[in-house]
Amino acid sequence: MTSFGYFLSCEEFSPAELLEQARLARQAGFTHLAISDHYHPWNGEQGNSPFVWSVIGALSQLTDLPVTTLVTCPTVRLHPAVTAQAAATSSVLTSGRFRLGVGTGEALNEHILGDAWPPFGVRADMLTEAVEVMRQLFTGEPTSHRGTYYTADNARLYNPPVGELPVYVSGFGPRAAQLAARIGDGFVTVGPEADLVRTFKVAGGEGKPVLGGVKVCWGHDRDQAVRTVHRLWPNELLPGELAQVLPTPRHFEQASELVTEQMVADAVTCGDDVDEHLATLQPFVEARFDEVYVGQIGPDQRGFFDFYGREVLPRLHA
């Protein structure tokens, strides 16, 4: 059965706003939380970018809902040994309810220390090795590793995770789905692509959870909701690998000039028509996703949670 969680966007909201959304999400009936990990927002209009591990620490004292990073990159900006410590501490603070979602990253966040941005094949190899290092450290035993990309010298986590800490791997194409099946405990993707889910399961992911997500903009005025999405999240409609290779918010702003309000209206669920929101989520159920995370774009979070708690979630669970 598909469960529905709420997506906390560190790019768009301040730490205090994220905590309030987590509280409202639980009241509305969402059963899980996911949170993004960014050093920069996608554009200046979004205007936020708190350190995700600090926010997770605060969430652990606020809610008993499971929390998953969607996703963090443990390969460039943060060494996998440091990411492992952050994830293990999050597991301890949440009494084992934390799951680590990882991916190959975006230049937007990972270029900040001056590192070159490698092609996907190299990034996939880096992620594979990073996951190996983190799993060794999660045992709580002293770990030394000398690999192609990373070195760990007698590193040990004195506060290891509570139980097994699942590592979910994100991806948006067949190669990434196969990688997730090989090195991950689950698969994270975006759209409800049944073929991609099948690729993951055939490659060794059968029995492992599949997570997806979608952004919407609830509001009584559909045209205003479309304008809100166009102002805050036009990058969602950029094609190809731009999301992975553009290095600064300004570059995304320039590329997003190609995105029109009509493109947003055609691609993003906006407004207060309950049937449209249900129609957006139902394909995830049909594609056998285990968890689906919904993110509300824009400032009217209370209206969204009231609408989903009253009109949408009860019908999805019926």
* DSSP letters spanning 34-84: EE---SS-SSTTT-----HHHHHHHHHTT--S-EEES-B-TTTTS-HHHHH
Is 104:127 a contact under the CB 8 Å cutoff? yes
Strands 151-155 and 186-188: unpaired
Residue 95 CB neighbours (<10 A): 11
The mean pLDDT of 26-41, rounded to a whole number, is 99
The model's pLDDT over 213-271, given as tens digits with 9 standing for 90+, comes to 999 999 999 999 999 999 999 999 999 889 999 999 999 999 999 999 999 999 999 99
Enumerate the β-bridge partners of residue 101.
168
Average pLDDT over residues 25-38: 99
The per-residue pLDDT for 317 is 83
CB 236 within 8 A of CB 256: no
Closest Cα partner for 45 from 236, 173, 228?
228
Work out whether the CA dihedral 77, 213, 170, 23 comes out positive or negative.
positive
CATH of domain 3-316: 3.20.20.30
pLDDT at 240: 87
In terms of Cα–Cα distance, which of 255, 234, 244, 318 is closest to 281? 318
Indicate the residue type of 301.
Q
Distance of alpha carbon 292 from alpha carbon 11, whole angstroms = 19
Q: What is the pLDDT of residues 113-132, one digit of tens each?
A: 999 999 999 999 999 999 99
Upper half-sphere CA count for residue 184 (Cβ side, 13 Å): 32
Residue 318: predicted pLDDT: 75
Reported as a single tens digit per residue, the pLDDT across 133-181 is: 999 999 999 999 999 999 999 999 999 999 999 999 999 899 999 999 9
Amino acid at 184: G
Share of the chain above pLDDT 70, in %: 100
Q: Is the pLDDT of residue 299 over 80?
A: yes
**Would you say 43 and 256 are in contact if contact means Cβ atoms under 8 Å apart?**
yes
pLDDT higher than 80, residue 76: yes
10 Å CB burial of residue 96 (0-12, 13-18, 19+) is: middle
CA distance 13 to 298: 9
Q: Which residue has the tokens 């991950």?
A: 184
- Identify the burial level of 257 via C-beta atoms within 10 angstroms of its C-beta, where 0-12 means exposed, 13-18 middle and 19 or more buried: exposed
Catalytic residue ranges: 38, 106
Q: If you average pLDDT over residues 206-216, what whole number do you get?
A: 98
Q: How far is 33 from 68, CA to CA, in rounded Å? A: 6
Crossing angle of helices 52-60/15-28, nearest 10°?
A: 40
Contact 39, 48 (CB under 8 A): no
Helices and strands: H and E segment counts in the chain: 14, 10
Q: Which pLDDT score is estimated for 158?
A: 99
d(CA 312, CA 309): 6
